[in-house]
Structure 1
Amino acid sequence: MSTPFSAAIIGGSVGGLAAAIELRDQLGADVKVYERSAGEMQARGAGVVMQREVDALLNRIGVQTREVCVELHERVGLALDGRYSVNSAPQLMTAWDILYKRLRAHLGDACYHSDSRLIGLDQSSVNVTARFANDHAAQSDLLVGADGVNSVTRQLLQGYEARSAYTGYVAWRGLEKESDLPDELVAALKDRFTSYMNPGMQMLCYLVPGADGETTPGQRRVNWVWYVNTPTDDLDRFVMGQTSRRYRSFLPASDVTDTTKRVIHELADRSLPHLFRALVHESAIFMQPVQDVAAQPRVHGRSLLIGDAAGTVRPHTAAGTSKAFGDAALLAEALTGWTADDPMPEERLERWNMARTMDLEVTAIRGHRLAKGSGLGQADQLSFPKELRLKGKAQ
């Protein structure tokens, strides 16, 4: 049976997988995914709030949403002195690695190519050729750039780098098995979305499924994120790993220096309620600088951008994953009925571009307002005491 068109997907994270599945399953396209990482991808996003776009794709590939989620029942707001407030707030939570494994299993291995770092693009009126650092070249009728906030696809298509802008704060994170944490800590956190806010910082915590999708109590994981205002000079020290590698957008737990761990532990002791102080000390911490990329043009002839490659939203919106999934689903809708022998459906793609860009910009504005409401990214709300910043030099 012939396929209507071939598509190369640049970026093998969940957004790229969603695009490949939508184009293959909905339209019958011949898809191939190219991921720059050579080994297993790390769970950079950790916890994910279940949104309708994610739920819809999971259901289409035969995954029942509650099979891959932990259900929360309450929202708890902590105060520094130990007081707290409780409100009923049912919500479903999953994790980046759970989504990745389910999508990857559905897509299959035959069309997924690791260790494929994009270095060049050649585009004509009838096809696109992607060139990779491993000397491989792939020609396709369509190319989709889903390679994230620092997208190489975007840079090659536009002829310049639309660099991500550091927002003035970072997200320290932890993702721990609940069985590895003290019982009293887990008891205080389970079934709840727990948070603490103070000008210049915000910490959130909730449970997600275990690494293999387990949702049984005792087999799940505790996921937390701690947003902290951090001057650029301190960021430059923190992103230098103990292996002397300088990270751009993700510092893995395995490469956090002892000095950084000590500084973050001291900051937790000074700044957080007891429950969250204990959690930080019990965790293998990792970090992501919060970065902004303004909305970018999505349509470049036969090459298209989706997800963070087309623009970012702040993590407070809980919309990063759902935004990429929505891009993919509506792109498949815009390409319905198109074949490689036809001219590109430019009007439909432009409508897709305008609709998705409008959605992105509205969500981005909401994210900026949420950050501002917590004093995040504001220079007059610094969270690092001077003496800790001076101790925080990377080793």
Structure 2
Amino acid sequence: MVRPLRIRIVGGSIAGLFAAILLDRQGMDVRIYERSGADLSGRGAGLTGGRELFDAIHKIGCSNVSRLSVLSDRQVMLDQQGGVVADQPASGSRFSWDLLYRTARAKLSDNQYVQGRHVVRVEHLEDGAAVVFKDGEQERADLVIGADGVASVVRQLVDPDHFANDYAGYAAWRILLPEQQLPQGLSSMRNALVAFSWPGIQSIGYMVPGGAGEIEPGRRRYSWGWYRPASARELTSLFTTADGHRFEYSLPPGSMSEERVEEFRRDAAALLPPQFAEITQSEHRPWIQGIFDYLPRRLVAGRVVLLGDAGALARPHVGMGTSKAAGDAVALATALGAAGTIGEALRAFERDRLASAQWLVMRSREIGASLRLAG
């Protein structure tokens, strides 16, 4: 096992959290720096549990979260008029991202999980790496983990000539609806994954747990999304709030202008099955997620390693992003626990994770291309 290390983690979502918990148990000095000062638990909805995610949840002692699942027993395809064109058995389970985040976060002290601390870059040192903060302060570490997601600042140090995300040519408009407000036309399909696909359009809805992990009928939420073409030039407008603030990769809930909401509703009424169009008429305004991907050439450079979306960003069609992030954290902890040196551990981690990460990104591109969603 590698000697106890001073490890600093940039990014406090699932990959960073899981890595910190596992490495803390190995006796490492771990600390997460999360840029956002807000509670992250409102940022997720339902998680599809893959093998790696369930394994990681068990390893960090959060198995109770995965047992609070909403089950779906079939998949229904609608036509544009709202008729059912296919209805077939298809089992699936989804549990609460919010509950998982809060449960995992509670396993770290406030000294180990620092919010509102903005890391602007990471630098190589002869015997480690340094994180540099927005206020100019620096902190040295034996190992720096980049778990800072789609907007990663750590990735540029790992591969300076290949660090930018690729825009896929479309965005997802999303609404999370309380189950009590589910349109009547979907009431008989509340235990199904419901989808509508047409060239340039894909829309999907399914039930997920409530914000605190509630799985009882009537207390759950309905997660709905609509993938729509959008040119790169349009993103500037799409990701600008009603008061003029500009975001780079998404538009958060509640910030869309009234004019754009009304345009969105008109488009939905013209293009979507009536059951889905009715969702857009609810009081819950959509948020927008730009669809990007990143195909990595490496995950390690010196004493710096990338996990989760910072290392390899796949489009959401494969539904494995959180599982991959959790698997990365377990793989890194395993490598550090088995190797004699940091370099040996990082080489083992990259051998274990790079090829599968590349496959995941390429597979997500293939699915996206088959849906013909790009404008």
Q: TM-score, normalised by structure 2?
A: 0.92
Q: Identify unmatched segments of 5+ residues in structure 2.
A: none
Tell me whether 267-276 or 45-54 shows the greater mean CA deviation.
45-54
Amino acid at match of 1:48: L
Alpha-carbon separation, structure 1, partners of 2:202 and 2:235: 17
Q: Which digits, 9 at most, give the CA deviation of each residue in 1:342-381, with x for residues without a partner?
A: 64233x422321331210121122111211221122x4xx
Amino acid at match of 1:284: R
Partner of 2:141: 140
- Show the 5 A alignment for 1:173-212: 173-179=174-180, 181-182=181-182, 184=184, 187-212=187-212
CA distance 1:188–1:106, change in 2 (3 Å): farther
Alpha-carbon separation, structure 1, partners of 2:247 and 2:41: 14
Partner of 1:356: 353
- Show the 5 A alignment for 1:1-395: 4-25=4-25, 27-41=26-40, 43-60=42-59, 61-84=61-84, 85-134=86-135, 136-159=137-160, 162-179=163-180, 181-182=181-182, 184=184, 187-282=187-282, 283-337=284-338, 343-346=341-344, 348-377=345-374, 379=375
The alignment partner of 1:253 has SS state of coil
Amino acid at match of 1:67: R
- Asked if 2 retains the 8 angstrom alpha-carbon contact of 1:116 and 1:134, the reply is no
CA distance 1:121–1:182, change in 2 (3 Å): closer
- Asked if 2 retains the 8 angstrom alpha-carbon contact of 1:335 and 1:345, the reply is no
Amino acid at match of 1:227: Y
How many Å apart are 1:277 and its aligned residue? 0.5
Q: Which digits, 9 at most, give the CA deviation of each residue in 1:90-147, with x for residues without a partner?
A: 1111243222112112234331000111124343232322121245533322110000
How many Å apart are 1:329 and its aligned residue? 0.8
Amino acid at match of 1:314: R
Tell me whether 39-48 or 123-132 shows the greater mean CA deviation.
39-48
Q: Identify unmatched segments of 5+ residues in structure 1.
A: 380-395
Alpha-carbon separation, structure 2, partners of 1:174 and 1:121: 36
Alpha-carbon separation, structure 1, partners of 2:104 and 2:347: 28
Alpha-carbon separation, structure 1, partners of 2:74 and 2:293: 31
Alpha-carbon separation, structure 1, partners of 2:240 and 2:331: 39
How many Å apart are 1:172 and its aligned residue? 0.6
- Asked if 2 retains the 8 angstrom alpha-carbon contact of 1:5 and 1:29, the reply is yes
CA distance 1:83–1:10, change in 2 (3 Å): same
Alpha-carbon separation, structure 2, partners of 1:189 and 1:136: 54
Q: What is the root-mean-square deviation in Å for CA atoms of aligned residues?
A: 2.1
Alpha-carbon separation, structure 1, partners of 2:312 and 2:351: 13
The alignment partner of 1:149 has SS state of helix
Tell me whether 278-287 or 267-276 shows the greater mean CA deviation.
278-287
CA distance 1:81–1:119, change in 2 (3 Å): closer
- Asked if 2 retains the 8 angstrom alpha-carbon contact of 1:69 and 1:94, the reply is yes
Amino acid at match of 2:35: R
Amino acid at match of 2:354: T
Amino acid at match of 1:248: E
How many Å apart are 1:292 and its aligned residue? 1.6
Q: Which digits, 9 at most, give the CA deviation of each residue in 1:158-203, with x for residues without a partner?
A: 4467221211100111112213x05625623421111110111111
Amino acid at match of 1:68: L
- Asked if 2 retains the 8 angstrom alpha-carbon contact of 1:296 and 1:311, the reply is no
How many Å apart are 1:314 and its aligned residue? 1.2
Alpha-carbon separation, structure 2, partners of 1:161 and 1:118: 20
How many Å apart are 1:218 and its aligned residue? 1.2
Tell me whether 351-360 or 244-253 shows the greater mean CA deviation.
351-360
How many Å apart are 1:20 and its aligned residue? 1.0
Q: Which digits, 9 at most, give the CA deviation of each residue in 1:276-315, with x for residues without a partner?
A: 1111222320011101212142111111111111121110
Q: Which digits, 9 at most, give the CA deviation of each residue in 1:54-84, with x for residues without a partner?
A: 1112222142354332111111111112221
The alignment partner of 2:154 has SS state of helix
Q: TM-score, normalised by structure 1?
A: 0.88
The alignment partner of 1:166 has SS state of strand
CA distance 1:189–1:30, change in 2 (3 Å): farther
- Asked if 1 retains the 8 angstrom alpha-carbon contact of 2:158 and 2:300, the reply is no
Aligned-residue sequence identity (percent) comes to 30
Alpha-carbon separation, structure 2, partners of 1:45 and 1:153: 23
- Asked if 1 retains the 8 angstrom alpha-carbon contact of 2:183 and 2:278, the reply is no
CA distance 1:300–1:96, change in 2 (3 Å): same
- Asked if 2 retains the 8 angstrom alpha-carbon contact of 1:48 and 1:94, the reply is yes
CA distance 1:256–1:68, change in 2 (3 Å): same
